[in-house]
Amino acid sequence: MSFQRLTHVTLFYILLSTFVGYVQSAATVPPSKSCLCEAGYTGVNCDVVINNCASTPCQNGGTCTNGVNVYSCACVPGATNNNCQTIIDNCLSSPCVHGQSCVNGLNSYSCTCIPGYTGKNCDQVINNCQSNPCQNGATCSNGINSFTCSCAAGYTGAICNSIIDNCPMNQCQNGATCQNSLNAYYCHCAAGYQGQYCDQVVNNCLSSPCQNNGQCTNGINTYSCSCTIGYTGVNCEDEVDLCASSPCPVGFQCTDDGNIYNCNCYPGYTGANCDDVINNCQSNPCQNGGQCINAVNAYSCSCASGYTGSNCNTLVNNCASSPCINGATCINALNQYSCTCAAGFTGDNCCREIDNCVLNNSPCKNGGTCVNGINKYTCSCVVGYTGVNCASVTNNCASTPCLNGATCFNAFNSFTCSCITGYTGSNCGSIINNCASSPCQNGGTCNNAVNSYSCTCTASYTGPQCGSGNIPQCTGYRILNDSWRTLGTPGLNCDSGLSAGWYRFINNGNNAIMPTSCPAINNCGTQAPVWFSGSLPAVGQTVSVTACSNWNSNCCNWSWTVQATNCGGQYYVYYLPSSTNCNLAYCMQ
């Protein structure tokens, strides 16, 4: 047998002997007395209260008070429930106005603000202008997480730190150099130019360098003189004797006038040297085809047929003998005349009176008598006929005696009217009374109309004849009459505490409705006003539509379903759920 196996067997017998001895000695010990304790007590004599606080059941810093078989927790502010295990949600009221998130804490909360806001509740806009970022006298306008600078004149850039470069406008001309300055620029002109933009050539003729009426022609940084006759030199300063060459014909006197010479011509002659006979016909003085005959210092005209006068400018008057009679107008013409006869006359000289009854082939009909007049005739009609030619039976319908779209039928010296449906009377002037049978029930008001009627029901009834029963919500409703709910009223009110149910809007004692078009934000006493995005129902009808809240440039940023009932055409009631967000409130108008 190996040593290891011998050791194991020996150890087993030693343990077995020990256990047998323990059992024998225990059998010889007499039994002891013990107490059965009531709940909450312990100890040999049950005189010790069990410590129920030993397991530290009160959480979040709560203080444990022990009792008999019970304990209680006194919670610190911000914790609640039996073991103070629940931390009160301080973020439930959404205190962070412009916050990305709200982090709850024990009896506290903290807000993580969106960029541009600060403060415990993120309700303060950060003043980005506080560090005076705008330079050179600029005005700083604060924004959300930004600022803008309104620069003083002459400055530019995001913070107005740069002078505007006025030279890129390239106003300087003719090779000038531009020098930039604050709110201005200056042009340094090249030689021969001047002006603000160097766009003006220097006037070298301004000092009148050309003498004796010489004409000065300006150039770039120079000038030249064109001398009048009789003068020469750079500035026309030297005089020339113009008569020295005897330019005038023999017998004509030459006069030197300094810059020209003059030949004193005899009448009828012209030209620098008096060698031309003046052409008195050059101006075409003879009119209307007359022939001009020139002479020395004179002319004469040979007129065409029908014209007269020294220049043939007068038409021969063929009306001078007054050939047109009976008030006719004579119109003169070349070698002739014409007569425009007065009304009722004819002939070459308007000597014959026109018989209008013959001219129109006895125009009077139905026994009418024709009476001739100057340029007209009249018909005397027999009874029952009318018109210029007595051709029409007298129209007794011409005065439109039949009313309200009725058809008029003419007869001899009378008429009859055929009324359209809904009208009666000899002239169809009366509406048939469709309310005579009192068709509206239950106190409804009958409104008569053409070929129909309508009933205005009391609030409790509906239907075409007000015969349908009571609409419960038209009597079982609550009133919303807060003046701040009206359009145009600012405020920070909220309807999160409004109980869901049927409501009727009252404004200053008058019925009001929810707006059916999107109101502006910060209106109706709240930040995000709620409006009725649909059409209102007909009398006695109920509709379900979407209620929208305007916020964040979105007329329907938040939405939910509401109902509306038309109570007899007198007022509307609305089923309004409670608003889930602040600041949202129902609007009225």
pLDDT tens-digit map of 51-80: 999 999 999 999 999 999 999 999 999 999
pLDDT at 5: 39
Q: What is the reported pLDDT for 258?
A: 63
Sorted by where each starts, the structural domains of the chain and their CATH numbers stand as 41-87 (2.10.25.10), 356-393 (2.10.25.10), 438-469 (2.10.25.10), 472-586 (no CATH)
> Mind listing the pLDDT tens digit for each residue in 254-298?
887 766 778 888 888 888 888 788 899 999 999 999 999 998 889
DSSP H/E element including 186: strand 184-188
Token pair 């007068």 is found at 314
pLDDT at 540: 86
Selection from 553, 480, 472, 562 nearest residue 516 by Cα: 562
Question: What confidence score (pLDDT) does residue 33 get?
Answer: 64
pLDDT of residue 454: 86
Record the tokens describing residue 122, joined without a space. Answer: 């993120």
pLDDT value, residue 469: 65
User: What pLDDT was estimated at residue 403?
Assistant: 94
Token pair in block for residue 250: 């023999």
Mean pLDDT of the chain: 87
Dump pLDDT digits (tens) for 77-107.
999 999 999 999 999 989 999 988 999 988 8
User: Which range among 226-235, 256-265, 296-305 shows the weakest confidence by mean pLDDT?
Assistant: 256-265
Q: What angle do CA 59, 95, 93 make, to 5 degrees?
A: 65
Side chain identity at 256, as an amino acid letter? D
Is residue 8's pLDDT more than 50?
no
500-514 pLDDT, tens digit each? 999 999 999 999 999
463 vs 289, which has greater pLDDT? 289
- pLDDT at residue 320 is higher than 50: yes
> Which residues have CB under 8 Å from 399's CB, separation 6+?
none
Per-residue pLDDT, 378: 92
Do the beta carbons of residue 565 and residue 572 sit within 8 Å? yes
Integer angstrom CA distances of residue 43 from 32, 48, 505: 15, 6, 73
Q: What pLDDT is attached to residue 395?
A: 86
| High-pLDDT (> 90) share of the chain, % | 53
In this prediction, residue 1 carries a pLDDT of 38
Segment 394-432, tens digit of pLDDT: 888 988 999 999 999 988 778 899 999 889 999 999 998
Query: What is the model's pLDDT at position 15?
Result: 40
Report whether pLDDT(166) > 50: yes
239 and 231 Cβ atoms separated by less than 8 Å: yes
> In the structure, what pLDDT confidence band is assigned to residue 467 with cuts at 50, 70 and 90?
low
Q: Give me the pLDDT at residue 26, please.
A: 41
**30 pLDDT above the threshold of 70:** no
User: How many other C-beta atoms can be found within 10 angstroms of the C-beta atom of residue 582?
Assistant: 17
Report residue 343 as tokens: 């009304």
CA angle, corner 308, sides to 305 and 312, nearest 5? 95
- Distance in angstroms (rounded) separating the CA atoms of residues 474 and 457: 12
Paired tokens of 501? 């149910």
Residue 186 clears pLDDT 90, i.e. is over it: no
CA 562, CA 514: separation in Å to the nearest integer?
A: 11
Q: What is the pLDDT of residue 12?
A: 43
Best mean pLDDT range from 32-36, 123-127, 201-205, 511-515: 511-515
pLDDT tens, 521-558?
A: 999 999 999 999 999 999 889 999 999 999 999 999 99
Determine what percent of the chain is predicted with pLDDT higher than 70. 93
For the segment 322-367, what is each residue's pLDDT rounded down to a tens digit? 999 998 999 999 889 999 998 888 888 998 888 888 878 889 998 8
Copy the structure tokens of residue 334: 């070349």
What is the structure's pLDDT at 3?
Answer: 37
Q: What is the pLDDT of residues 104-140, one digit of tens each?
A: 988 899 999 999 999 999 999 999 999 999 999 999 9
Q: What is the pLDDT of residue 19?
A: 41
pLDDT score at 361: 86
SS3 (DSSP) at 570: coil
Do 109 and 91 meet the contact criterion of CB atoms below 8 Å apart? yes
